[in-house]
Chains A and B, each alone.
Chain A
Amino acid sequence: MFRRSRAFLREARTAGKLTHENITVIHDVGEEQGRPYIVMEYLSGTDLRTMLERRAVMTLERQISIAAQICRGLAYSHGKDIIHRDVKPANIRVLENGRVKIMDFGIARLGSSALTSTGTILGTPYYMSPEQIQGKKVDRRSDIFSCGVVLYELFTSRKPFPVMSDLGDVQDCPRNSRRF
Chain B
Amino acid sequence: MYKIVHEIPEGFEELERLFPPALPAILGRMLQKDPAERYQSMDAVVEAFEDLSEVLKEERQSRASRRGSAKPGTEKTLQRDRLHEASTIAAGETPCQPPFRRQVHPPGVLHSRRGIETSPAAAPGETWSCRWIARRRHCFGRCSVSSDAIQPAQWHGDTEHPSMGARHRHRTGRSWTGFSSGLPDHAMPFTLAPGTYVLTCANPGFVKTFRVRVVVAQDSLSQVTQTFPGYTIERVLARY
Question: Does B43 reach chain A (CB closer than 8 Å)?
Answer: yes
**Any A CB within 8 A of the CB of B27:** yes
Decide if B207 touches A170 in the complex (CB within 8 Å). yes
From residue 26 to 51 of chain B, which have CB atoms closer than 8 A to chain A? 27, 30-33, 35, 38-43, 45-46, 49-50
Structural contact, A55 and B186, CB atoms closer than 8 A: yes
Contacting pair B27 A141 (CB below 8 A): no
Q: Judging by beta carbons under 8 Å apart, are B30 and A68 in contact?
A: no
Q: Bound complex: CA of A54 vs CA of B188, how far in Å?
A: 11
Interface of B, helix, strand, loop or mixed by DSSP: mixed
Q: Is A129 an interface residue (CB 8 A)?
A: yes
Q: Which of B1, B38, B238, B240 has the most CB of A within 10 A?
A: B238
A59 to chain B, nearest CB (A): 4
Chain A residues contacting B205 (CB-CB under 8 Å) are 170, 180
Which residue of chain A has its CB nearest to the CB of B7? A161
A178 within 8 A of B: yes
Number of interface residues of A (CB under 8 A): 58
Q: Are A63 and B238 in contact (CB under 8 A)?
A: yes
> Within residues 126 to 180 of chain A, which ones have a CB less than 8 A from any CB in chain B?
126, 128-131, 133-134, 139-145, 147-149, 151-152, 155-163, 168-170, 172-174, 176-180
Is the beta-carbon distance between B31 and A145 smaller than 8 angstroms? yes
| A65 in contact (CB, < 8 A) | yes
| Residues in A neighbouring B224, C-beta threshold 8 A | none
Stretch of B11-19, B69-77, B117-125 lying at the A interface:
B11-19
29 A-B residue pairs with Cβ-Cβ distance under 8 Å, sorted by A, are A59-B238, A59-B240, A60-B56, A60-B238, A64-B49, A64-B56, A68-B50, A71-B42, A71-B46, A75-B45, A130-B4, A134-B5, A140-B42, A141-B40, A144-B30, A145-B30, A145-B31, A148-B30, A152-B9, A152-B27, A155-B237, A156-B11, A157-B237, A160-B11, A160-B12, A162-B10, A172-B202, A173-B202, A179-B204
Interfacial chain A residues near B46, Cβ < 8 Å: 68, 71-72, 75
Q: Is the C-beta of A78 less than 8 angstroms from some C-beta in chain B?
A: yes
- The reply to whether A75 and B43 contact each other, CB–CB distance below 8 Å, is yes
Q: Is the pair B15, A59 in contact by a Cβ cutoff of 8 Å?
A: no
**Across the interface, do B43 and A160 meet the contact criterion of CB distance under 8 Å?**
no
B175 in the interface (beta carbon within 8 A): no
- B residues engaging A (CB < 8 A)? 1, 3-5, 7, 9-12, 14-15, 19, 23, 27, 30-33, 35, 38-43, 45-46, 49-50, 52-53, 56, 182-184, 186-187, 190, 192, 195, 197, 200, 202, 204-207, 232, 234-240
Interface pair A173/B33, CB less than 8 Å apart: no
Secondary structure call for the A interface: helix
B189 to chain A, nearest CB (A): 10
With a cutoff of 8 Å between Cβ atoms, the chain A residues found around residue B35 in the complex are 129, 131, 139, 141-142, 145
- List the A side residues contacting B31 at CB < 8 Å: 145, 148-149, 152, 160
Question: Is A122 in contact with chain B by the CB < 8 A criterion?
Answer: no
Complex: how many Å from CA A164 to CA B27?
A: 22
Nearest A residue to B4 via CB reads A161
8 Å CB contact of A140 from B7, B27, B33, B41? B41
